[in-house]
Chains A and B, each alone.
Chain A
Amino acid sequence: MSRLCNPQSLLRMSVPGAILSILLTPAMVFAQAQPLPPSSAPAAADQQVLTGSVTDDSAWRDLGIAIPAFPTDQSVPTGADGGNTEALGRNLARVVFSDLKDNGLFKPTGPDALPGIGYAEVTAPAFAGWRARSAEMLVQGFVKGGADGRLTVGCYLYDVALGKELARQGYVVRPVEWRRAAHKCADMVYSRLSGESPFFDSKIAYIAETGPKDHRRKQLAIMDSDGANHRFITSGQATALTPRYSPDYRQIAYLSYVDGRPRIYVYDVGTGHQHLVTEARGPTFAPRWSPDGRYILYSMAIAGNTDIYRVPATGGQSVRLTNTPGINIGGSYSPDGRKIVFESDRGGHQQIYVMNADGSGQHRISFFSGRAATPEWSPRGDQIAFTCICGNLRIAVMDPDGNNRRFLTDNWQDEAPTWAPNGRIIQFFRTERGTGHTSIWQVDLTGRNERRLKTPVDASDPAWGPVLP
């Protein structure tokens, strides 16, 4: 807290002076939040969110947002994309623009279609000029290189019509993490304008697929929420399937045929080592983490019968949670960790069931014609996403009591939904009829904004992790 400068003194300082004093303090964590000087524009009242409604967000979706390049006080070399802080400032604004545009959330205009601004202008916007451009909202930021190689990025959101500052945040990042500063900025803009929780600064694990339909190579891979910083984890010599990030992003539980049979491994992202989720002999499927990261659910087949088990993430004794003839598989915790929604064909074919976290109180919640599979509880707790096998395979959501089913997609084969950390967007994978090509798509809860994620090769089984600290 000692770094929090007196706002009044900051107001009187020039921007560079304020940043200099900030940089003199140690920055120990990634994407460290950094207090920023207020702008010269008056601050708007905190509660002024344009709309917080889940069902009708058309009001803020049409907002025009101008995002000019982030100027730097002095262009210095940096290891981040661009090579120097001046070029990096343009790249930062491009990432903010892409985040907001690609998700269909707003109508932003990016740095490549806008004039540049001066460094001092960041905190003293030329509102009249932006009004003339019909911009309703304005995102301005700066980037500054530090003596230790770290970067300080500032991000301000202004309401152009009101001539007021709505929000500001600063971040100190290592050059390799420069995109995180832009994602944090986009998250701030999105949260302030929509009233929703942020989600851009997050990561996705998935399965990268190559090769012909009858000989697909399936590799575990990870990427940022916008597809950047892509990395293959496994070579593809052994088929990998159904990954799930641990809530702290340190581990990935996934299925691998590396020992010839399908079994769940827990891969440590930092060390590259992995271990079996259970030494039990049966094949294991469908790993899932508890929201606190303390437990892993897995499903194991014994003599053709599949049941769901829970094991401490650090290892130890497994507890069997289901015990019925048939296939009980998957499982997704409610955000409070007290309930688990899962899939079972005990009633004849796949439907959705809910149980308490200790396995008690199992009851069916879906009664659709067709089949219902791969339920995933929203991080907000208010919805369950699932795959409806209703003729085609479609992504749908319903209330946690099984009511109010709504289809979000209508294609030949969409499956395996995964929630954005804020519970407003769902990713899934789509298989193309005939060719078997797979791709990751995302759709918002209105079902109106559907788009394909860019991946280097075909992609399936997306698993979205939480927002990074």
Chain B
Amino acid sequence: MSRFPRIATVSLLLASVSLAGCAHKPKELPPQPVSASTSTQTGQQFSSQQQQPTGPIPGSQADFLASVISDTVHFDFDKYGIDGESVGILRSQAQWLARYPAKSVTIEGHCDERGTRDYNLALGERRANAAKNYLVALGIDAGRINTISYGKERPIALGSDEAAWAKNRRAVTITVN
């Protein structure tokens, strides 16, 4: 269930490329985006063909997930500050990004359901930017980090209680290429 939003996001980004067009840079269309599921499949095919030990392809989303403490940082209600736990998570993400300088990421900002729709879209954008700014402060080129807000529209925890809301107030880092 937790993987679903990532897959959906990657496909949306693909649509973004084909619809929005990057009209001024047609030759720089990114290669096929890698989602968690496809990268795992590719890794298995690769290893069986090459008779090598299984494991995520270096630089893949699966490798990212295996390498970082977490792809997700959490926030307090109506807040966008990076707390101590998030610092460690973002540092591990920055280390991975330093290792794969050709890779870009998208950071999704999300909110819990206890706010208005408009404001939560803006707050999700703010949270994604807070995570982005921390990665930039750790030396990652801002041009490698996109942000997108889903407001309260894409919860991962489905309850209507404090535990679910805490899980949904999040910024999720997803590798793009």
Seen from chain A, the residues whose Cβ lies within 8 Å of a Cβ on chain B are 212-216, 218, 238-239, 241-242, 255, 257-262, 283, 285-286, 299, 301, 303-306, 327, 329-330, 343, 345, 349-350, 371, 373-374, 387, 389, 393, 412-413, 415-416, 431, 433-434, 436, 460-461
Contact of A214 among B16, B147, B154 (CB under 8 A): B154
Minimum CB–CB distance from B144 to chain A (whole Å) comes to 16
Task: Tell me whether A413 and B113 are in contact (CB under 8 A).
Answer: yes
**Given A214-B1, A393-B114, A415-B116: A306 and B125 interface contact (C-beta under 8 Å):** yes
Chain B neighbourhood of A213, CB < 8 A: 155, 158
Chain A residues lying within 8 Å of B123, measured Cβ to Cβ, are: 327
Chain B, interface size category, equals: 35 or more
Q: Mark B42-70, 1 if CB is under 8 A from A, else 0.
A: 00000000000000000000000000000
B34 to chain A, nearest CB (A): 16
Q: In B116-137, which residues have CB < 8 Å from any A CB?
A: 116-119, 121-123, 125-126, 128-130, 133
State which of A214, A216, A257, A285 has its C-beta within 8 Å of the C-beta of B122.
A285
Q: Is the CB of B158 within 8 A of A261?
A: no
Q: How far is the CA of A26 from the CA of B177 in the complex (A)?
A: 65
- B126 & A329 in contact (Cβ 8 Å cutoff): no
Name B129-164 residues within 8 Å CB distance of A: 129-130, 133, 147-149, 151, 153-156, 158-160
Most chain B beta-carbon neighbours within 10 Å: one of A259, A305, A461: A259
Nearest 10 Cβ contacts at the A-B interface: A260-B16, A304-B129, A306-B122, A304-B126, A301-B125, A373-B116, A259-B20, A286-B118, A327-B122, A260-B12
> What residues of A have a CB within 8 angstroms of the CB of B149 in the complex?
262, 283, 301
Contacts A/B (CB < 8 Å), 14 sampled: A241-B121, A241-B153, A259-B15, A259-B16, A260-B20, A261-B148, A262-B148, A286-B118, A304-B126, A304-B128, A329-B118, A329-B122, A373-B119, A461-B117
Beyond known contacts A373-B116, A374-B119: 10 more, CB 8 A cutoff: A215-B4, A255-B121, A262-B121, A301-B122, A304-B129, A304-B130, A306-B122, A330-B118, A373-B118, A434-B159
| CB-nearest residue of chain B to A286 | B118
Complex: how many Å from CA A412 to CA B160? Answer: 11
* Residues from chain A with Cβ under 8 Å of B129 in the complex: 301, 303-304
Q: Which of B89-131 contact A (CB under 8 A)?
A: 113-119, 121-123, 125-126, 128-130
Minimal Cβ-Cβ distance residue in B for A255: B121
**Are B158 and A241 in contact, with the CB atoms below 8 A?**
no
Known A218-B153, A374-B118, A413-B113: A304·B80 in contact at CB below 8 Å: yes
Chain A nearest CB from B86 CB (Å) reads 15
Q: How far is the CA of A402 from the CA of B16 in the complex (A)?
A: 42
In contact, A299 and B118 (Cβ under 8 angstroms): yes
Tell whether A433 pairs with B118 under 8 Å between CB atoms, given A259-B16, A260-B13, A262-B148: no
The complex places the Cα of A349 from the Cα of B148 at a distance, in Å, of 22
- Asked if B117 and A416 make an inter-chain contact with CB atoms under 8 angstroms apart, the answer reads yes
Q: How far is the CB of A74 from chain B (nearest CB, A)?
A: 52
Question: B154 to chain A: which residues have CB within 8 Å?
Answer: 214
> In the bound complex, how far is the Cα of B155 from the Cα of A301, in angstroms?
21
Residues from chain B with a CB closer than 8 A to the CB of A212 are 158
List the B side residues contacting A283 at CB < 8 Å: 121, 125, 148-149
* B119, B151, B158: the one within 8 Å of A350 (CB): B119
A413 to B120, CA, bound (A): 14
The smallest beta-carbon distance between A422 and chain B, in angstroms, is 25
